[in-house]
Amino acid sequence: MSLDENLVPEVERLGQQLSDARASIERRFVGQHDVVEQVLAAILSGGHALLVGQPGLGKTMLVDTLATVMGLDSQRIQFTPDLMPADILGSEVLDVLPDGSRAFRFIEGPVFTQLLMADEINRASPRTQSALLQAMQEREVTVSGKHRPLGRPFHVLATQNPIEQEGTYPLPEAQLDRFLMQVDVDYPDRDTERDILLATTGIEEAQAHAAFTADALIAAQKLVRRMPVGETVVEAILDLVRAFRPGSDEADRSVADALVWGPGPRAAQALMLVTRARAVLNGRFAPVLDDVAAFAAPVLRHRMSLSFAALARGETVDGVIARVLDARLLRQQAA
């Protein structure tokens, strides 16, 4: 690993800018430091994030605040069972022109933005969910045979309620894999909840300010991809991801009957990117093993499935990840 000297001042400037952005977000989204770090890392890496948590934990407010702080145009879609693909992508209407002729005109849907909030994404039918697949992967949509590019940058931040499953449609594995990270939003601790009460029940609430523009964010995303990654970290990422593939020669023995399927190469790509982003967020010029450990669960948890035997034993995906992570990273550190 070699660090380009030209990168040093750029990374330092970006670190200061991100520190300002983080402080601005946390004025409104109080206390959830890990959640803010993970979402910022997903955006810095150019990806999408799935926010999973019980109602009332501030997921919607976080996305709204993020749009302001990152200087992005945003749209929100409230997913419901009767939502149709055209409600997301847009549709063509027939206009009568002044000369009496007729022509089709395309009316853009809310997907034509820079930051799309897909609220309660699992409430829409599979047909409507699939309307986002091309947008998330290729940053464009095809309507009436015509390719239409989306905003630059383009990010989807989707929310999902894990406890209310009636009238919902679980996301297919292919779409889950398009999310760079699954960010679990948990209940705040007592001190954090006290700070939330004091900050949000007065006459005025704290306001966020813009720390980035769309162009500045695109430049930051390019800078993250230029950051060097040491061979130790690369090997740790490969070792970890490949350990969760049941039936593979490199699979960890403890996952043999715990998992039905594991993560693919896209997971390794995601982990490589977000570890770089976390390094910048923490004022470093290159990722370390701690970055891999911190972001392993958010990157991997939605890319694997527990077996019936593991479910019967009361195991969780995060528990399996933690068990393998401890063993593999200890081995890497010892080496």
Do 136 and 239 share a domain, yes or no? no
Q: What confidence score (pLDDT) does residue 28 get?
A: 86
CA-to-CA distance for 210 and 69, rounded, in angstroms? 4
Length of the chain: 335
Do 26 and 137 share a domain, yes or no? yes
Boundary of a domain, candidates 198, 226, 254:
226
User: Does 285 reside within a domain?
Assistant: yes
Tokens linked to 83:
């939502």
Q: What confidence score (pLDDT) does residue 3 get?
A: 59
For the stretch 300-325, pLDDT in tens is: 999 999 989 889 999 999 999 998 98
Closest CA to 111 of 144, 138, 145: 138
**C-alpha pair distances (Å), 243 with each of 1, 159, 289, 303, 308:** 25, 29, 16, 13, 20
Residue 261 has pLDDT above 80, yes or no: yes
| Dihedral over Cα of 158, 162, 163, 166: its sign | positive
Do 7 and 53 share a domain, yes or no? yes
Q: What is the mean pLDDT of residues 245-254?
A: 84
Domain of 310 in residue numbering reads as: 227-335
CA-to-CA distance for 155 and 215, rounded, in angstroms? 14
Closest CA to 175 of 130, 125, 118: 130
DSSP 178-214: TSSEEEE-PPP-HHHHHHHHHHHSSSS---------H
Is residue 298 very low, low, confident or very high in pLDDT (cuts 50, 70, 90)? very high
Q: Establish how many alpha carbons lie within 13 A of residue 21's alpha carbon, considering only the half-sphere containing its beta carbon.
A: 29
Do 335 and 198 share a domain, yes or no? no
Do 217 and 241 share a domain, yes or no? no
Q: What confidence score (pLDDT) does residue 98 get?
A: 80
Please report where in the chains the tokens 């039918």 appear, as a residue: 125
Q: What is the mean pLDDT of residues 101-127?
A: 88
Do 290 and 213 share a domain, yes or no? no
- Give the CATH number, domain containing residue 236: 1.10.8.80
User: Does 91 reside within a domain?
Assistant: no
Do 165 and 294 share a domain, yes or no? no
Do 69 and 198 share a domain, yes or no? yes
Q: What is the mean pLDDT of residues 263-286?
A: 94
Q: What confidence score (pLDDT) does residue 173 get?
A: 86
Q: What confidence score (pLDDT) does residue 242 get?
A: 92
User: Does 5 reside within a domain?
Assistant: yes
Please report where in the chains the tokens 């992508």 appear, as a residue: 89
Q: What confidence score (pLDDT) does residue 247 get?
A: 83
Q: What confidence score (pLDDT) does residue 52 get?
A: 93
For the stretch 32-69, pLDDT in tens is: 899 999 999 999 999 999 999 888 888 888 999 999 99
Q: What confidence score (pLDDT) does residue 4 get?
A: 67
Tokens linked to 12:
């330092």
Do 283 and 145 share a domain, yes or no? no
| Chain center to CA of 321 | 18
Do 242 and 326 share a domain, yes or no? yes
75 bridge partner residues: 116
Do 202 and 279 share a domain, yes or no? no
For the stretch 156-165, pLDDT in tens is: 999 988 766 6
Is residue 327 very low, low, confident or very high in pLDDT (cuts 50, 70, 90)? confident
For the stretch 162-177, pLDDT in tens is: 766 666 788 888 888 9
The per-residue pLDDT of the chain, averaged, comes to: 88
CA-to-CA distance for 284 and 224, rounded, in angstroms? 12
Interacting residues of 246 by C-beta distance below 8 A, sequence separation 6+: 255, 256, 258, 259, 260, 261, 262
User: Does 104 reside within a domain?
Assistant: no
User: Does 98 reside within a domain?
Assistant: no
Cβ atoms within 10 Å, residue 322: 14
pLDDT above 70 as % of the chain? 95
Residues 115, 63: contact at Cβ < 8 Å? yes
Closest CA to 267 of 244, 290, 293, 294: 244
DSSP state of 247: T
**Domains identified in the chain, total number:** 2
